[in-house]
Structure 1
Amino acid sequence: MTPFTPNCRGAAVLAAAVFAAPAAQALDFSGSAALTSDYVFRGISQTQGNAAPQLGARLVLDSGFYGALWGSSVDYGDAAGSDAEVDLVAGWNRTFAGRWNLDVNLTRFTYPGTRAPLNLDYNEVIATLALDQRWWLLLGWSENVLASGERGIYTEVGAKFPLGDRFRFETVAAHYDLDDAYGASYSRAQLSAIYTLGNVDLRASGHWTSDSAERIFPGVAGSRFEAAASWNF
Structure 2
Amino acid sequence: MNAPTGKMFCILAALTAATAAPLAQALDFSGSATLTSDYVFRGISQTQGDAAPQLGVKAALDSGFYGALWGSTVDYGQALGTDAEVDLVAGWNKTLAERWNLDVNLTRFTYPGTRQPVNLDYNEVIATLTLDQRWWTMLGWSENVLATGERGVYVEVGAKFPLSDRFRFETVAAHYDLDDAYGASYSRAQVSAIYTVGQVDFRASGHWTSDSARRIFPGVAGSRLEAAVSWNF
The answer to whether the superposition gives a TM-score over 0.5 is yes
Give matches, 1:41-56, under 5 Å: 41-56=41-56
Deviation string 1:161-219 (CA, Å, 9 cap, x unpaired) is 00010000000000000111111100000000000000000000000000000000000
Render the CA deviation track for 1:139-178: whole Å, top value 9, x for unaligned: 0000111222221100000000000100000000000001
In the alignment, what sits opposite 2:64? Answer: 64
143-152 vs 72-81, greater mean Cα deviation: 143-152
C-alpha separation in 2, matches of 1:205 and 1:186: 19
Greater relative contact order structure (CA < 8 Å, 6+ sep): 1
Superposition misfits of 4+ residues, deviation over 6 angstroms: none
* Residues 1:10 and 2:26 aligned together: no
1:34 deviates by 0.6
Distance 1:147 1:121 in 2: 6
Q: Which moved more, 1:146-155 or 1:186-195?
A: 146-155
Q: TM-score, normalised by structure 2?
A: 0.96
Whichever residue aligns with residue 14 of structure 1, its letter is L
- Give the whole-Å Cα distance in 2 for the aligned partners of 1:150 and 1:198: 43
- Counting aligned pairs with the same residue, the percent is 82
SS at match of 1:6: helix
How far apart, CA to CA, are the structure 2 residues paired with 1:58 and 1:200? 17
TM-score by length of 1: 0.96
Report the number of matched residues: 228
After TM superposition, list the pairs within 5 Å mapping 1:1-233 onto structure 2: 6-7=5-6, 8-19=9-20, 21-233=21-233
Kindly report the root-mean-square deviation, in angstroms, between the aligned alpha carbons of the 2 structures. 1.0
List per-residue Cα deviations over 1:101-139 (Å, max 9, x = no partner). 000000001111111001111110000000000000000
Q: Which runs of 5+ in 2 are unaligned?
A: none
Structure 1 residue runs of 5 or longer lacking an equivalent are: none
